[in-house]
Structure 1
Amino acid sequence: MAYLNLGIVAHIDAGKTSLTERLLYATGTIPHLGTVDDGSTQTDSDEIERRRGITIRAAVASFALDDLHVNLVDTPGHTEFVAEVERSFAVLDGIILVISAVEGVQAHTRVLYRAAKAAGIPVLAFVNKVDRMGARPAEVLEEVTNSLSTTAVQLTRTLGEGTAEPVVESLLGPRDLAQPWEALALASETAFDRYLSGPQNARASFEAVLKDHMRSGLATPVATGSARTGAGIAELLGFLRLLIPDPPGDCGPESITGDAFSVDHDAKGVRRVLVRLRSGEFRAETKYLHVHGPDAGAEQARQVKVVEAVGLQPSGVAEAGNVVALRTRPPIGVTDRLGSAGVQAARPRYELPKPTVETMVRAHDGNHVELYRALEKIADRDPTIALRAVEGGRVAVWLFGNIQAEVLAETLDRDYGIGVSFSKPTPLYFERLTGTGTFQVPIGRSPFTAGLGLLLEPAEPGAGLIIDMTEARGRIPRAFSDAAAAAFETSFQQAYYGWPLLDARLTLTFAQYDNATSTGSDFRLLAPVVLQTAIRQARTVVLQPLIEFECDCPEKMVPPVLQALERLTGKISQAAPTLYKDRRWSITGLLPAHAVGQFSVELPNLTGGDGSWSYRPSGQRPLKTPVLRRRTDGNPAKLSEYMHYLSLL
């Protein structure tokens, strides 16, 4: 059995979810065709998704094409949920990029295409909505080449576009193959040489060259059709084999490797994690290695299911290449991996984009304890949401924007019966170490019956926060070292200037306890003192989160848009605004993440409602003048303040 893990991505309203529904219906997976308008689609199963008509979280369904098993990943189209899309990229073999035949290539279309190209994932473009009035598939084909900087290879022709019953014909027949071959020959010298030297009616030769060029982005095949009427869907299904990856390496049934990419709960509230299995054979009784930090060890799944049809059905075995749902303890989290540390170290770890704003959430009934517990469960499913408790019954939540906050409020009300209100979002900053710090406190040198010492060093960007507690093994009880490690992790959220610390390695160098009097609480309370003192030795720089943006606007509106971006301290890319289709221009660059809301409000007024933009998180830049954040941890680096804070708890 061959497996294809297929992502469907698009600019919002291009018809992505409708195409997913049509593929499931066309392959006999579902008996009835649902629609986004009436909220009856299979993958938008969440009530909030149905009501809003948008996809919020990646959903997985599957269907079979002869000996090919396709796991279909329907991903969000709204800009604020781009992190959910990119998180899924780590487990995809190929992507269908849906483009509207009326609107054409839009700002977010280009963002998604560039992300797929950077990840080395082959893309098959599908020009949807050819049945709509104003459909222009031939022009959109040119836009794919010009706007996406690739060679568009037309695989179908559309007759009667813009009518209620368009007809789509494949160009990969023996008589028609010359046209796609000629287009592909323009992609590279290699393709041109193969075109001249081989038989021009040989489909196998054409597809071999096309597949080779798709992964590098040199060529992008383009099919046309209508998810609404079903025109072109049979042809699209036939082209999916262009995306099939090479067979996975045979590492033996004992050598399990895989990537976790989504967490959800079943109808009974049981937590499960979706994992793309890359090698080995998975059974419920199989031992596997859960790679997550230095204390990772062999685990065993309590239940194994593989993706079948629309739901998750029990299965006794999962083969390499498939998607498996696991129930495990301890739980696996999103971006965690299965497999030996040596195997996984050779593969780059996916770095989750950092949230851009912080907002305070208050429960209407004042029960902040239940609010925090509910938010913890939601954050487990969506790791782009982070939170911390704040005085006064509030919780600070990190998000990407207003839509995400609205969805969060609806989820809290619907699933947990908690009504909430949000404060005005404020910019979220981060800190990074500029040097190293070391500090040690033996027993007797603090009010706590515990001894700890550590070395704190900068880590490579994207490495995250690494806590190495190896030195504690055999020196102090495991419960004490676990308490210290948990306290270190929490204390990282307020560094020198009060902002979360990024990319650091903490190595425990000293651990001491008194067998008669030490408790886990001693280590939990001492850990922040040692860490915060080391942070002050190392010093930090405050970082401002950035977004990479692309803005489309009419030619005459370019000057006021540029002025607005400059006022918001945006930086236009070295390439000047470019004309990408008739009298419309594209502006790209970087913008402080906290300015997203303001520019989103201003853009319609600046362009008379005829402008659009798309963005994605894109790292950070140092602030010339650090911004201070009020501490909520009692300032452990100053022991007198810290002890006073603890006395009030």
Structure 2
Amino acid sequence: MHTLNLGILAHVDAGKTSLTERLLHTAGVIDEIGSVDDGSTQTDSLALERQRGITIKSAVVSFVLDDVTVNLIDTPGHPDFIAEVERVLNVLDGAVLVVSAVEGVQAQTRVLMRTLRRLRIPTLVFVNKIDRRGAREKGVLRALTERLSAPVVPMGRTEGLGTREAHFVARTVPSALDVLADHDDALLSAYVEDAVSHDRLHSALVTQTRKALVHPAYFGSAITGAGVDALICGIRELLPAAGGAPDEPFSATVFKVERGPAGEKVAYVRMFTGMLRIRDRVPFGDGRAEGRVTAISVFDHGKDVRDDVLPAGRIGKLWGLADIRIGDDIGVPRKAYEHFFAPPTLETVVVPGPGVDTGSLHLALTRLAEQDPLIDLRHDEVRQETSVSLYGEVQKEVVQATLADEFALAVTFRETTPLCIERPVGTGAAVEFNKKDPNPFLATVGLRVDPAPVGSGVDFRLEVELGSMPYAFFKAVQDTVRETLGQGLHGWEVTDCTVTMTHSGYSPRQSHAHQGFDKSMSSTGADFRGLTPLVLIEALRRAGTRVHEPMHSFRIEAPADTLGALLPVLAAVRAVPETTETRGTVCILEGVVPAALVHTLEQQLPGPTRGEGELESIFGHYAPVSGGSVPQRPRTDHNPLNRKEYLLNVTRRVGG
């Protein structure tokens, strides 16, 4: 018996949750197949998921296929919940990408396949809904190859397409040999000599699928069960088993955190090596913390059951690790946690309803952010406001409903606004010296800000000797630099820059005879943390910054005769078509649109395109804000832009 940790991924409404139900029923885990529309599925357990008929949180369920224990993770398909998918990708052995035979390749399909291929996760394709009117076979296969840029191996053909009797006939398709031979010279030679046996072909298929070189494609229907047996055979034979030696030191990754009935943290983990046992004391988070495992459960036959041990290759739940966070490694660290998708590009202010305590609201939002690290909270103590970052309007509705259902807190939201960034436009430097007016801090700090290539983030460097003062003071400067860059001259995060420390100095530890440490005459870390924002902001002033807004790349397919009506709509939302192509009766436009106006474009598209327009959009880049006033973001810090106000707040804290 071996284990396979399998992800089910798809664009929203392609049918992945229905496929999960069908797989559980076929494996004998459930007696009746649940319905997404009726809210009776196994993996959509949240009340809101059942009401809306969409998956919001990833869910794990286990079943057995002959000699394979499958831990299946059902993931959200809506792009607003892409963060849930991102975390799951870190723990998969293989995946099934579900595509609708009617709608074909959609926006999220492309995003997911591109990421699966980049991570080299072995992936099968299941083309669902062949029983629906309008279902296609050749057109979808062509789109899989062309629009996904993925080598797809058809594993059979359909019969009765678009009818209730539609079914899938599993057999070797002649084109499969062509695809496999592209990645295997020996197979190509045998192909030319007409000497390829069935076993040789199957062996090449297994090898290339497990290396993520090709992607076997099955057609079927999760509702009728057509093609599901063939898919199960592919899952069992073509996808790799979970590796990991049980006798090695334990190593695991946390991909989900939730709260139990008593408010306790429960961590979902994938064990890669070793074994975890109850009462084990474990380090986690790069050694940041440690805790004792007080309980373990593993997934088995559709349920999670308590156990004393979690072995390598399995997925389980751990209790007792109070400070655990999503992305943490437990035990031996693995590679750094990767973000595969763009961060949220929108934010909104959460407005408490009548009688809602702001403290309770902030605690509840912190709990939500704990379960989703890409939800960034920003609390403004002066205005007593909390902002939350978002991927889209649906996520806003989910946050609102979750606060009402789980925390009994009624909230509304202000208008959604784009999350901009600032980039330096030149070089700027500033320095303040210890014991020289107007510097009230016992510290010397000099900093220079230089622009850096787009996408490089923030780099901190030293032009002073590391031994010129205690390392703790350098660390205080570096940490404060990164914190201060969270709010630039216009209040937005500053990125794509290099900050170099050019001057340093401190007052050594002073003490009087028979007395202890004299704080008034000796530098502390607080002096460097207090002075650094003033110096950095002055350097930024001299460098200058430009505000950039997030832009999405869009692709619209619409009837060719609606192009004239569509162009004014695009202009109204500041969308810029960069390419226009006509294919028969269909026109395809690709270009860029401000992230803040994507939702407006979605709402307005049906009108001019007679309801036939299809929009794909994905974060593309940040572009300088042009025309009109520069967007400002209210500050939540002590405002180093106003020296008097800043010193009034900060020196009181450091005793200056």
TM (norm. structure 1) is: 0.83
Deviation at 1:419, TM superposition (A): 0.8
After superposition, where does 1:222-261 map in structure 2 within 5 Å?
222-241=217-236, 243-245=238-240, 248=243, 250=245, 252-254=247-249, 256-261=250-255
One-letter identity of the residue aligned with 1:71: N
Deviation at 1:467, TM superposition (A): 9.6
- Per-residue deviation, residues 446-504 of structure 1 (Å, max 9, x unmatched): 99888696978789977877999xx99x9799xx9999999777644322321124477
Q: Partner residue of 1:545?
A: 550
Q: Partner residue of 2:514?
A: none
Deviation at 1:25, TM superposition (A): 1.6
Indicate conservation of the 8 Å contact 1:440/1:530, yes or no.
Answer: no
Deviation at 1:126, TM superposition (A): 1.0
Q: Partner residue of 2:202?
A: 206
Whole-angstrom distance in 2 between the partners of 1:142 and 1:51? 35
Indicate conservation of the 8 Å contact 1:362/1:368, yes or no.
Answer: no
Is 1:413 aligned with 2:404? yes
Indicate conservation of the 8 Å contact 1:2/1:68, yes or no.
Answer: yes
Deviation at 1:93, TM superposition (A): 2.5
Q: Partner residue of 1:174?
A: none
Whole-angstrom distance in 1 between the partners of 2:351 and 2:479? 25
Deviation at 1:234, TM superposition (A): 1.5
Bigger shift: residues 329-338 or 97-106: 329-338
Cα 1:556–1:24 shift into 2, 3 Å: same
Whole-angstrom distance in 1 between the partners of 2:267 and 2:478? 25
One-letter identity of the residue aligned with 1:497: H
Cα 1:200–1:178 shift into 2, 3 Å: farther
Gaps of 5+ in 1: 172-176
Cα 1:150–1:357 shift into 2, 3 Å: closer
After superposition, where does 1:605-644 map in structure 2 within 5 Å?
605-623=607-625, 627-644=631-648
Gaps of 5+ in 2: 511-516
Whole-angstrom distance in 1 between the partners of 2:242 and 2:303? 25
Deviation at 1:268, TM superposition (A): 3.5
- 3-state secondary structure, aligned to 1:353: coil
- Per-residue deviation, residues 41-74 of structure 1 (Å, max 9, x unmatched): 1111111111011111222222222332222121
The CA RMSD measured in Å over matched residues stands at: 4.1
How many residue pairs were aligned? 627
Deviation at 1:264, TM superposition (A): 1.7
Which of 366, 370, 379 is residue 389 of structure 1 equivalent to? 379
Whole-angstrom distance in 1 between the partners of 2:496 and 2:323? 24
Whole-angstrom distance in 2 between the partners of 1:563 and 1:296? 54
Q: Partner residue of 2:594?
A: 592
TM (norm. structure 2) is: 0.82
Deviation at 1:570, TM superposition (A): 4.1
After superposition, where does 1:388-537 map in structure 2 within 5 Å?
388-390=378-380, 391-432=382-423, 491-502=484-495, 515=517, 527=529, 529-537=531-539
Cα 1:83–1:525 shift into 2, 3 Å: farther
Is 1:193 aligned with 2:189? yes
Deviation at 1:360, TM superposition (A): 1.4
One-letter identity of the residue aligned with 1:362: V
Deviation at 1:100, TM superposition (A): 1.8
Percent identity, aligned pairs only, is 32
Q: Partner residue of 1:303?
A: 295
Instruction: Report the structure number with the largest CA radius of gyration.
Output: 2
Deviation at 1:440, TM superposition (A): 7.0
- 3-state secondary structure, aligned to 1:613: strand
- 3-state secondary structure, aligned to 2:602: helix
Cα 1:78–1:90 shift into 2, 3 Å: same
Whole-angstrom distance in 1 between the partners of 2:454 and 2:69? 37
Cα 1:489–1:189 shift into 2, 3 Å: closer
Cα 1:287–1:234 shift into 2, 3 Å: same
- 3-state secondary structure, aligned to 1:415: helix
- Per-residue deviation, residues 192-212 of structure 1 (Å, max 9, x unmatched): 335446854424643434642
One-letter identity of the residue aligned with 2:489: Y
Indicate conservation of the 8 Å contact 1:569/1:592, yes or no.
Answer: yes
One-letter identity of the residue aligned with 1:259: T
Cα 1:532–1:319 shift into 2, 3 Å: farther
Deviation at 1:36, TM superposition (A): 0.5
Bigger shift: residues 260-269 or 36-45: 260-269
- Per-residue deviation, residues 376-418 of structure 1 (Å, max 9, x unmatched): 1111111221122234432222112211111111111111111
- 3-state secondary structure, aligned to 2:276: coil
Bigger shift: residues 627-636 or 602-611: 627-636
Cα 1:453–1:378 shift into 2, 3 Å: farther
Q: Partner residue of 2:309?
A: 317
Whole-angstrom distance in 2 between the partners of 1:461 and 1:630? 25
Whole-angstrom distance in 2 between the partners of 1:456 and 1:330? 40
Q: Partner residue of 1:326?
A: 318
Bigger shift: residues 457-466 or 639-648: 457-466
Indicate conservation of the 8 Å contact 2:20/2:74, yes or no.
Answer: yes
- 3-state secondary structure, aligned to 2:31: coil
Cα 1:317–1:591 shift into 2, 3 Å: farther
Whole-angstrom distance in 1 between the partners of 2:322 and 2:428? 33
